[in-house]
Amino acid sequence: METKKQNSALRVLYLEDSKLDVELLRTILEEAYLLDFTSVDDRQAFEEVLLSKKSLDIILSDYNLPDIDAPTALAIAQKHCPDIPFICISGTIGEEKAVDLLKQGAVDYILKDRMARLTSSIDRALNEAEEKRILAEAQEALKQQNKELRIAKQKAEESDHLKSVFLSNMSHEVRTPMNGIVGFSELLIRSDDPIKQAKYVRTIQNSCEQLMHIINSIVDISLIEANQVFVNKTEVELEHIFNYVNSILQEDFERKRIHLKQLEIPENCCELTTDASKLTQILTNLISNGLKFTSQGFVEYGVRRQNGTLHFHVRDTGIGIPEEKHPVIFERFRQVEEGNTRKYGGSGLGLSIAKSFVEALDGQIWLQSKPGEGSTFFFSIPV
């Protein structure tokens, strides 16, 4: 082992009431080490140094002092700095006392007439302390690694469960419009009534649109999972996007008798450079999500500009979201897990896709919501 003289000062605390012994020990240590030396001669001063959190490498102590002995000093040291090696130096110490002291936790004892072995004893104690420190760090690292592995295992199991439920739900979601297409196609073939035929065609068209939406969501989430989302930024007129979103969703809102409110676009928000298709889908997903969970009232959307960022919002008067669900509401397949898909319909992927697209546009997304008070989703993207 390299001695402290070769790297940094040896930080020593010596409990001794004999000035002559203090000077003798200091002289011996200075021959072997660079030294940061502190000596005390009573219990109070000893405890004050330990309580001061002074960095120490070794504690040395006489066995008998007027108001403290080595076993008591060792107990105090173990209380305040249990990792610092403790060596007893005594002129007279019986073998029984020495053994008891070692059992209590001292690393060594040295007779004052055999001080020549002091440096080797200190080096060995420092070596052992370093080995204990390395072992403790390795154990702590292993404990942390095991903890992380348990968390990863739990997440993997949860992910597998959610995906299994998602696949089960997708089979149901896909069959629903497919049944509509197949069933009403047969009715259309059998019917000669133009009114009924027109009704059947509309139903088939709605089923096709529903099926296409499901397929698009699955494709989007597959691209997101594969990290294959690419951005194509162009100059965009926000009014065109708002009007398009309004036109494709208006019929759904009228069917459910929910009001779709499009707020006026401020002049400083009219034009921006972004990916028009992704911005359109973000708005569509958030507005459709609002409609899905709103049975009466309205869904409102708008935009404002702050510095170099556009802040969009979509507000609904729907069922609201409990606060404990806010951190996970944008996770993939989460709605499926909560059982809302069967009740309200949809794949449960809309918010996750919206979040991924917002982040692809270098933006952020968040929400404010309380049960029974509706929800407001916000997202921001740079102009």
State residue 337's pLDDT score: 43
Q: Check whether residue 209 and residue 347 sit in a common domain.
A: no
Residue with tokens 């001063």: 45
Convert the pLDDT of each residue in 136-175 to its tens digit.
Answer: 899 999 999 999 999 989 888 877 777 777 677 677 678 8
CA proximity to 372, closest of 321, 329, 313: 321
Query: Is residue 260 one of the residues assigned to a domain?
Result: yes
Out of 210, 226, 242, a domain closes at 226
Q: Work out the burial of residue 248: count CB atoms within 10 Å of its CB; fewer than 13 is exposed, 13-18 middle, 19 or more buried.
A: middle
CA proximity to 173, closest of 225, 224, 210: 210
Query: Is residue 140 one of the residues assigned to a domain?
Result: no
Q: Check whether residue 102 and residue 212 sit in a common domain.
A: no
Q: Check whether residue 46 and residue 71 sit in a common domain.
A: yes
Q: Check whether residue 364 and residue 297 sit in a common domain.
A: yes
**Cβ atoms of 317 and 294 closer than 8 Å:** yes
State residue 159's pLDDT score: 75
State residue 39's pLDDT score: 94
Out of 51, 83, 113, a domain closes at 113
pTM (two decimals) = 0.54
Residue with tokens 């556009």: 310
CA proximity to 356, closest of 216, 231, 215, 212: 231
Q: Check whether residue 216 and residue 262 sit in a common domain.
A: no
State residue 1's pLDDT score: 42
Is 260 a residue whose pLDDT tops 70?
A: yes
Is 206 a residue whose pLDDT tops 90?
A: no
Give the range of the structural domain holding residue 33, as residue numbers without chain letter.
Answer: 10-113
Out of 183, 204, 226, a domain closes at 226
Q: Check whether residue 276 and residue 364 sit in a common domain.
A: yes
Query: Is residue 135 one of the residues assigned to a domain?
Result: no
Give, for 154, the enclosing helix (H) or strand (E): helix 118-190
Q: Check whether residue 159 and residue 220 sit in a common domain.
A: yes
Mean pLDDT within 28-43: 92
Of the two residues 260 and 5, the one the predictor is more confident about is: 260
Query: Is residue 130 one of the residues assigned to a domain?
Result: no
* Domain count for the chain: 3
Q: Check whether residue 273 and residue 372 sit in a common domain.
A: yes
Is 258 a residue whose pLDDT tops 90?
A: yes
Q: Check whether residue 269 and residue 369 sit in a common domain.
A: yes
Query: Is residue 129 one of the residues assigned to a domain?
Result: no
Q: What does the DSSP assignment read for 217-272?
A: HHHHHHHHHTT------EEEEHHHHHHHHHHHHHHHHHHHT-EEEEPPPPGGGSEE
CATH number of the domain enclosing 202:
1.10.287.130
Question: Mean pLDDT: which of 68-82, 103-117, 174-188 is highest?
Answer: 68-82
Q: Check whether residue 67 and residue 25 sit in a common domain.
A: yes
